Amino acid sequence: DVQDPERLVQCPYNKQHQIRACRFPYHLVKCRKSHPEVAKQLATCPFSARHLVPQPHLGDHILKCTDKGFVEQDI
């Protein structure tokens, strides 16, 4: 997280995991391997690989994604 790398972020694979934002991408890779059953139910946002949402909610997330502006700005 650019604004506060020490901010705690909740893991989408295990809700009990609270990870510092600066370590979050590394944790996602590790935790995905440990929870393959949960990983099958989650979809990755096309604007940020840090955003993992339940597959049925991906459309709503894409419409409201806060990182969409960064991608649109680059285009």
| Ranges of each domain in the chain | 8-69
71 pLDDT higher than 70: no
Predicted confidence (pLDDT) per residue in 29-56, tens digit: 999 999 999 999 999 999 999 999 999 9
Residue 5 and residue 69: Cα distance in Å, rounded? 21
Beta bridge partners of 52: 44
- Global pTM reads 0.79
Confidence tier at 73 by pLDDT (50, 70, 90)? low
Q: Strand locations in 1-75, DSSP E?
A: 8-10, 18-20, 42-44, 52-54
Instruction: Return the structure tokens found at 33.
Output: 């391997």
C-alpha closest to that of 58 among 41, 38, 33: 41
Residue 14 and residue 66: Cα distance in Å, rounded? 23
